[in-house]
């Protein structure tokens, strides 16, 4: 099993008040799945994504990634897991505005230098990023800055950046939230294609028409899976 959550809870402390965000969530996701997690605002879906993506730690419970427990690992160990195992795609694109599409895609390769024997030259990093942009239909936009790209093109750059280190998992948090219908369909077609190639896609959305692209739908409400 790729991802296993056992009785995960997350409680936030605000002054003397405890606010439960997740209440004993247990979930398994196998390699190669395309899963959509749906829930209203405040349901706990973003908290769940942050824990799956190792951006946050649970208050209690067990998280196994590729059958290895990662709960309680050091910050450096968790950062390496994020860089090697998980690609992130967000609603707001999160591209660096003063750098080109190519440089945005290259960035994770520089963070990855020296990890697990990775030692690509600068030229090799550039070539790898160009090839990924070509796969996303953006080879003619490689040297454009984000302000020169449409919303759909910016999101494809973000997807290319998420995929450049060849992670087995992509976490997409409302990836079509800032896009029109046509661009949303194009982005979801990209996710569908990469899922068919074996990448596990975990999609957070509140849009039922977007969730339909997934092979499995999970609802969350008040911090519990339905």
Q: Count of residues for the chain?
A: 226
Q: What are phi and psi of 54, to 5 degrees?
A: 60, 30
d(CA 2, CA 162): 18
Question: Residue 179 in contact with residue 126, Cβ under 8 Å?
Answer: no
Task: Report H helices in 17-176.
Answer: 45-52, 75-85, 101-111, 122-135, 151-163
Query: Domain range spanning residue 118?
Result: 3-225
> 143: domain CATH number?
3.40.50.300
SS3 category, 47: helix
Mean pLDDT of the chain: 93
For the chain, which residues score pLDDT lower than 70?
113-118
What's residue 71's pLDDT?
Answer: 87
d(CA 125, CA 122): 5
pLDDT digits (tens, 9 = 90+) for 147-175: 999 999 999 999 999 999 999 999 999 99
Which strand (E) or helix (H) includes residue 195? helix 181-196
Total number of domains constituting the chain = 1
User: Which tokens hold the place of 193?
Assistant: 């294609």
d(CA 82, CA 76): 10
Question: Residue 58 in contact with residue 10, Cβ under 8 Å?
Answer: yes
Q: What are phi and psi of 116, to 5 degrees?
A: 55, 35
pLDDT digits (tens, 9 = 90+) for 178-211: 999 999 999 999 999 999 999 999 999 989 999 9
What's residue 116's pLDDT?
Answer: 47
Q: Degrees (nearest 5) of the Cα angle 198, 156, 5?
A: 45
């Amino acid at each position: 099993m790729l991802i296993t959550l056992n009785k995960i809870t997350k409680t936030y402390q605000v002054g003397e008040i405890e606010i439960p965000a997740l209440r004993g969530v247990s979930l398994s996701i196998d390699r190669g799945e395309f899963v959509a997690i749906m829930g209203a605002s405040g349901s706990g879906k973003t908290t769940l994504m942050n824990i799956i993506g190792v951006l946050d730690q649970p208050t209690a419970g067990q998280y196994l990634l590729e059958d290895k427990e990662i709960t309680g690992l050091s910050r450096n160990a968790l950062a390496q897991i994020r860089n090697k195992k998980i690609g992130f795609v967000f609603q707001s694109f999160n591209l660096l505005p003063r750098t080109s599409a190519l440089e945005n895609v290259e960035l994770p390769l520089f963070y990855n230098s020296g990890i697990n024997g990775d030692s690509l030259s600068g030229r090799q990093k550039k070539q790898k990023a160009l090839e990924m942009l070509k796969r996303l239909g953006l080879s003619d936009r490689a040297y454009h800055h984000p302000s020169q790209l449409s919303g759909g093109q910016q999101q494809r750059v973000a997807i290319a950046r998420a995929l450049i280190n060849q992670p087995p998992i992509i976490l997409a948090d409302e990836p079509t939230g800032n896009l029109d219908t046509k661009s949303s369909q194009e982005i979801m077609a990209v996710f569908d294609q990469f899922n068919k190639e074996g990448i596990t896609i975990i999609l957070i959305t509140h849009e039922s028409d977007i969730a339909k692209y997934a092979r499995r739908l999970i609802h969350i409400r008040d911090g519990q899976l339905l």
